Amino acid sequence: MSSTAREWREIPGRYNLKGSKCPECGKVFFPKRSMCPLCRRASIGKMIEYKVERKGTVYTYSVVYDVPEANKRMKPYVVGMIRTDDDILLTAQIVDVDPENVEIGMRVQAVLRKIDDDGPSGVIHYGFKFAPCE
């Protein structure tokens, strides 16, 4: 269900957690936004690139059993919401840990993994997941 260009243009966010920062109020966003919802017009055209911290804490999570086709070989896998150390909440899979050992408050860090692909002859899409901190 993926399109090559659609995924390609999100690479900065997918690989390196590039979001946006509003130069007016300083609030940071992930994924990137072209406008700050608080400063609105004053921020248009002025949003600056912001790299989100790669470490964070598990805010909540679920162990997914009814899985999308792309993740069949990962079943069951853990998806979570991570609060990064710069206070951005985002959703990602949590890997390299047994589901029963995941808990709210656990320290994790971003890693690059395969997200899915466009079939055996299609493009492979990579993006961030989180793994327990070393």
Partner 1 sequence: MRDVAIIGAGVTRFGELWDKSFRDIGVKAGMLAIGDAGLSGSEVDALFIGNMSAGRFINQQNIGAMIADYAGFALKHIPSTRIEAGAASGGIAFRQGVMAVASGMHDVVVVGGAEKMTDVDDASSNSILDSTADQQWEASMGATMASLFAMIARRYIHEGLATREEIASVSVNGHAHGALNPNAQFRKAIKLESVLRSGMVADPLGLFDCAPISDGAAAVILCPMDKAKEYTDNPVRVAASTQASDTLALFQRDSITSFASTRMAADRAFKTAKLSPSDISVAEVHDCYTIEGLMAAEDLGLYERGRAGKAFLEGQTLFDAGKVAINTSGGLKARGHPIGATGVAQIVEIAEQVRGTADKRQVKGARYGMALNLGGTGSAATVSILEGI
Partner 2 sequence: MDVGIVSYGAYVPRYRITPEEIGKVWGENGKAMGKGLFIEQKSVPAPDEDVVTISVAAARAMMARTDVDPREIGALYVGSESHPYAVKPTSTIVAEAIEATPDLTAADMEFACKAGTAGIQVCMGLVGSGMIEYGVAIGADTSQGAPGDALEYSASAGGAAYLIGKKNIIAKINRTISYTTDTPDFWRREGQDYPSHGGRFTGEPAYFRHITNATQRLLADAGTKPGDYDYAVFHQPNGKFPTRVAAMMGFTEAQITKGLMTPYIGNTYSGAVPIGLASVLDIAKPGDRILVVSYGSGAGSDAFDITVTDRIRKYKREAAPTVEKIVSNVKYVDYATYAKFKGKIKMEE
Task: Go through 99-111 and write b for each residue having 16 or more CB atoms within 10 A of its CB, e for each that does not.
Answer: eeebeeebebbbe
> Count residues contacting partner 1 (CB under 8 A)?
35
User: With CB cut-offs between 5 and 8 Å by kind, which of partner 1, partner 2, none does residue 38 bind?
Assistant: none
* 90 bridge partner residues: 82
14: enclosing H helix or E strand: helix 11-16
Q: Which of residues 35-64 bind partner 2 (CB under 8 A)?
A: none
> Which of 44/124 has CB closer to partner 2?
124
Per CB under 8 A, does 115 bind partner 1? yes
Q: Is 45 strand, coil or helix?
A: coil
Backbone φ, ψ for residue 92 (5° rounding): -160, 165
Q: Which of residues 58-77 bind partner 1 (CB under 8 A)?
A: 59-69, 71, 76-77
Binding site for partner 1 (CB under 8 A): 1-2, 6, 10, 13, 31, 59-69, 71, 76-77, 79-81, 89-93, 99, 104, 115-116, 125, 127, 129
